[in-house]
Structures are given as structure tokens and as C-alpha cells.
Amino acid sequence: MYCVIMAGGRGSRFWPRSRKKSSKQTLNIVGKNTMIQDTVNRLLPLCGPERLLIVTNNLLIDEIREQVQIIPHENVLAEPRGRSTAPCIGLAAVIIQHREPGAIMACFAADHLINDTASFHSDVRFAEQIAIEFDALVTFGIKMNTPNTGFGYIQAGEILKKCEGEPARKVVRFIEKPDKATAERFASDPDHFVNSGMFVWKAETFLNEMEKHLPSMHSGLMRIAAALDTPLETKVIVENFNRFESISVDVGVMEKSDRVAMVQGVFDWNDVGSWESLYEVWPKDEMGNAAVGRKLSIDSKNTLIYSPKKLVAAIGVEDIIIVETEDALLVCSKDRAQDVSQVIEILRKNKWEEYL
């Protein structure tokens, strides 16, 4: 099995800590290690360093290579341009197919929090079996008992196979981020699961499905495949990435394919997608306040404070996020944490590049 880590994202909802040259995956958001280091450590028992590929961008490639030196230099790749997850995974697929035709590849984000590694490894191995036996594109569904409008969902259908009581199921459909009422219904429905954005399949099978559903992109990937290990490799990759549309693997392939199966992830999982989700995993005091750095709290509760250098005094506030860096300060209601990415849009529009 090859493992692929998608590490090119901006992490814009973690501004002001996450910037272009120090994005979320290269930061120690949760513990002592950075998120990319934790992800690599979690995957090494599945594939070893020689079969682990990281796809990132030109701004982060040197930092990531420095942080995970156990991974061979040539296995850390930079996309010429960010084009979402379909081209990212497609590039990894042609490289893996070139190195070892017929190989299985498993794809993961660089910024997920998974602590129960034993269950995680077991579920990935089960997904590998399903990918081989059914020639399927396997995704992982996570059952959440509380509604969340920030995730896409999967509706699961017939059972294909069971492993230790947990079934692999045919996927009926994918659902975009639902409204609150729909999310509440999904939380109590045994057939609906959060879409984790983690996948297992044969590289060849995935490329065949791309040919059906993203034929123009597939043609570009075949041109890249023909140029691998030649003097033209870099030139051809750049030329074709400049032509690729920006599209996610879910929209471009998974939602259209009839080969999609789902394994229910029984491991604990958090996509740590925003400061609000980070609040769920940080330790809290008796008033529900989570903090990194020195804080002084008077009649305040359920706050998240990140301020490693300055004392923060919070008086009479509730459900607030406060994040301080050397050049920026974020103050945000917790229920608006998903909107932090709008700050990036405004900064870019105003050409305040020093804050990006």
C-alpha cells in the first residue's frame, strides 16, 4: 500500500496563525508535533517511508521536507498551482501507477486529528480489502451523534462485507453541507455519515474513473505519466496543471462513480477545520475555557484563547475566540468561526499581503 498526504491547503480558517508560508499543517496546532509530523507518524506503520508521498505547494515544500526528513526527498511533491483535491490525487495516482502498476493507494489530509491509531490502522486495512475485492473507490464515513452543518455527508446503502461486526457498504449518494434541520436528522439516522475526505483504492481504478468523469484532466495526467523520469517531467507537469480545472475529488469523481463504497471509521476523528473545532480537543478549566498562554479569566466561560506571549484578561465574555500573533489579533464569536476565511478574502482584496 502507498499512502498519500494532501498537504497543500491554506488552512484559512486558522488565520492569523495559518499563513501562506506557515500553513496549518506545518504548525503545532494540537500538541508538540506539527500536524504533518503527526500524520506521517500515524501512516508510517501502514506503508513505510518509501511508499509515503506528500503533495503540497511550492511555498511549503522546503518546510515540510525539513519537518519530515524520514520521507525521501523525491516523495515530497509540489503542485505548480493549487487545483483542489482531484488534480492533487490524480498526480499521486500516476506516480504510484508508474512506480508499481496495480498498487493500492490511500489518501489522507495532513490536518486531521486521530488518536486511536490501532482502530485507524484496522479500518484502513479493511478498506484495502474492499478496494481489492470489489474494485471499489472506498471512502470513510464517520458517525456523529451531534448535528454539524460544516461537513458533507454520505448516505450508505447495502452491506458489501463485514469485518469484526463493522460493515462496508455501498454508497447511495453524497450530500453537500446540509442545513441545521437536515443535519439534525442525519445525526440520528443510521444510514448517514460525515464524509471524512479519506480514501482507499487501486491507483489504476481511480484513473479509470477519472477517464470516465474528468476526461480532459485524465488526458493531462496521461501526458504527465508519459513524461515521468524524463528531462521533460517538470515542464509537462506545470503545463498541464495550468490547464486543469479546480475541482474536488468528491465533486469530480466520487459523486458520479458507481464504484463507491464506504467503511465506517470507528476511530476517533476530528478534522480540526477551525478554531471552534480546536476548542473541542483542547483541555479546559472548570468554566469551559481553553487556552494556550497566560490568561486571567473573570466570569468568563467557554472561551478559546491563544496568546503564547501576552497575558490575556477576559472579563464577562462567553463563547469567544481570541487569537494573538505578533502582527494580528482575532476576536470572534465561536459560532462564526467558519467565517474566519472571509478575513483572507478581504485582506487579499485590499492587497494587505503582509497579513496573508
Write the CATH number for 144.
3.90.550.10
Which range marks the domain in which residue 286 is found? 275-355
Q: Give the end of a domain, one of 239, 264, 289.
A: 264
The tens-digit pLDDT sequence of the chain (356 residues) is 999 999 988 778 899 999 988 899 999 988 899 999 999 999 999 999 999 999 999 999 999 999 999 999 999 999 998 899 999 999 999 999 999 999 999 999 999 999 899 999 999 999 999 999 999 999 999 998 888 888 899 999 999 988 776 789 999 999 988 888 888 999 889 999 999 999 999 999 999 999 999 999 999 999 999 999 999 999 999 999 999 999 999 999 999 999 999 999 989 898 888 898 889 889 999 999 999 998 999 999 999 999 999 999 999 999 999 999 999 999 999 989 989 999 999 999 999 999 99
Q: Are 210 and 90 in contact (CB under 8 A)?
A: yes
Residue 269 within any structural domain of the chain: no
> Based on the domain organization, do 215 and 328 belong to the same domain?
no
> Same domain for 226 and 258?
yes
Residue 149 shares a structural domain with residue 298? no
In this structure, the answer to whether residues 17 and 124 fall within a common structural domain is yes
- Residue 162: the pLDDT is 84
Alpha-carbon distance 125 to 164, whole Å?
A: 12
Identify whether residues 119 and 216 lie together within a single domain. yes
Same domain, 290 and 176: no
**What is the pLDDT, as a whole number, of residue 20?**
86
90 part of a folded domain: yes
Alpha carbon 215 to its chain's center: 25
Nearest Cα residue to 296 out of 286, 284, 306, 311: 311
pTM: predicted TM-score of the whole model, two decimal places: 0.93
Pair (202, 221) in one structural domain: yes
85 falls within a domain: yes
287 and 243 assigned to the same domain: no
Domain end call among 264, 286, 318: 264
pLDDT of residue 179: 87
Beta-bridged to residue 144, according to DSSP, are none
What pLDDT does residue 165 have? 66
Angstrom distances, CA of residue 310 to CA of 184, 298, 306, 322, 324 = 40, 17, 9, 12, 8
Residue 62 lies in a domain: yes
Q: Which of 264, 287, 310 delimits the end of a domain?
A: 264
Residue 270 belongs to a domain: no
**Residue 80 belongs to a domain:** yes
pLDDT at 246: 95
Q: Is the same domain home to 314 and 209?
A: no
**Within 13 A of 46's CA, how many CA atoms are on the CB side?**
30
Q: Tell me: do 146 and 76 sit in the same domain.
A: yes
**302 and 253 belong to one structural domain:** no
Would 347 be classed as within a structural domain? yes
Claim to verify: residue 131 and residue 91 sit in the same structural domain: yes
pLDDT on residue 61 = 95
Number of domains present in the structure of the chain: 2
